[in-house]
Amino acid sequence: MPSTRRIRLVLAAGVCVLASAAAVTVHALNDRDPGVPAAKGAGATQCRRIAESAPGSMGGFPRWDSDARGVAVWGDRDIVLRCGVTEPGPSNDPCFAVDGVDWVIDVRQSTGTRKVIVTYGRSPATQVVFDSGGKTDAALVDLSRLVAPIRQKSHCLESS
């Protein structure tokens, strides 16, 4: 028959193991930071506003919280927004406008399944990476609304 002391030790060890497992589980469930680094200029006031006012869902994906400044992430990095990236200069990369916001497709960083776009003519510039088949068109409208308050200094498309 086991001693009372041995039973207490086994029970105490079991409680410690369960408490540790619970703490790890809670941390994993609450650790929503997807590991996306902040851009160099992410400390700008406009970047803070963009990240804080980004919607809870985008392109059919729920938003993840991030501790990185100027960053908003939806889905499993299906859509990643980083404010404060280097502004693109004149380029031969494709350019398009959505609701008055000019965007340039960063051809060097894009692939067949990954599209990288950057606002044109706005400082700080905002980069968005689309890494799956989310509803890109609807997301672009929402993204353009987020960055539209940043004054546009130049256009990659001629205004008509």
Does the residue 156 lie in any domain? no
Average pLDDT of every residue of the chain: 83
Q: Which domain holds residue 14?
A: 1-31
Distance separating alpha carbons of residues 70 and 77, to the nearest angstrom: 15
pLDDT for position 17: 39
Do 63 and 123 belong to one domain? yes
Do 50 and 121 belong to one domain? yes
Does the residue 37 lie in any domain? no
> Once rounded to an integer, what is the mean pLDDT over residues 92-117?
95
pLDDT for position 13: 47
Do 92 and 130 belong to one domain? yes
Residues 45-74: pLDDT tens digits?
Answer: 999 999 999 999 998 899 998 889 999 999
* Pair of tokens at residue 129: 């990476």
| CA distances (Å), origin 25, targets 20, 33, 61, 88, 127 | 9, 15, 23, 42, 33
pTM equals: 0.77
pLDDT for position 137: 81
pLDDT for position 33: 56
Does the residue 160 lie in any domain? no
Distance separating alpha carbons of residues 24 and 66, to the nearest angstrom: 19
Q: What angle do CA 96, 51, 43 make, to 5 degrees?
A: 100
Do 68 and 97 belong to one domain? yes
Do 65 and 97 belong to one domain? yes
Instruction: Provide φ and ψ at 56, rounded to 5°.
Output: -70, -20
